[in-house]
Amino acid sequence: MLTATYSFVALATEQDNARSMLTRAQQFVQSAWHSLQGMEALETAIAKLIQFDKYCRQRKLELHLMPLLRRIGGDTALLLGELDALAERAYGLLRSVRATVSDRPELPPSQLGDLWHGLYQYCEAGRERLDREERELFPLARRTLSVEDWFRIAAQFLSDDRPGSHARRGSSSRRSRPAHAIILN
């Protein structure tokens, strides 16, 4: 049971970090959107959201917990599919805004507003996913996983936290990522 507790503390810490990053990025997006700041601010917002996206893809939840739940199947398959769909929708918004900005050095104010709105929608989808992970995925994992599963997960978490493990973590994340999550690298 101690391994499950350790694992949930590690997951909760990463969730808090993700929420904090998303909140800061969303505040920047809202502020810049309402003042319809130009391309430089838009590019800064995109960079912040790409950083958030990369962080989310490297969380212990994504690298270890979700792949284990996928293998188990059952009730988890529907929820994981819905979470993946949220991530894909959000990523599509971010990719679309990024492509539009990189294609044009200047945009009319009306199109800038649409792009800011797209970034705001990305933030909302990210927030919804984090909420559903906490509200639905974590309780499902608690009910579904065995003591042995939690022990393996905790061992993987500890391995990730060892010095020098970030290179391995980044390379292993590509193997377990959905295709839509890799393109921004």
Q: Which CATH number characterizes residue 134's domain?
A: 1.20.120.520
Q: In the chain, how many domains are there? A: 1
**Residue labelled with tokens 């970030």:** 166
The amino acid occupying position 75 is D
* Dist CA 106 CA 117 (whole Å): 17
The amino acid occupying position 139 is P
Task: Name residues of the chain where pLDDT drops below 50.
Answer: 167-185
Do the beta carbons of residue 47 and residue 28 sit within 8 Å?
no
pLDDT of 20 reads 96
pLDDT of 119 reads 94
pLDDT of 164 reads 63
What does the buried/exposed string (b/e) look like for 72-91 if buried means 16 or more CB atoms within 10 Å of the residue's CB? Answer: beeebeeebeebbebbeebb
pTM, 2 dp: 0.82
Query: What DSSP state is assigned to residue 181?
Result: G
Per-residue tokens: 136? 């639905």
The boundaries of the domain holding residue 95 are 2-181
pLDDT tens-digit map of 139-152 = 999 999 988 999 89
Burial label for 71, CB within 10 Å (0-12, 13-18, 19+), is exposed
Would you give the distance in Å from CA 70 to the centre of its chain? 17
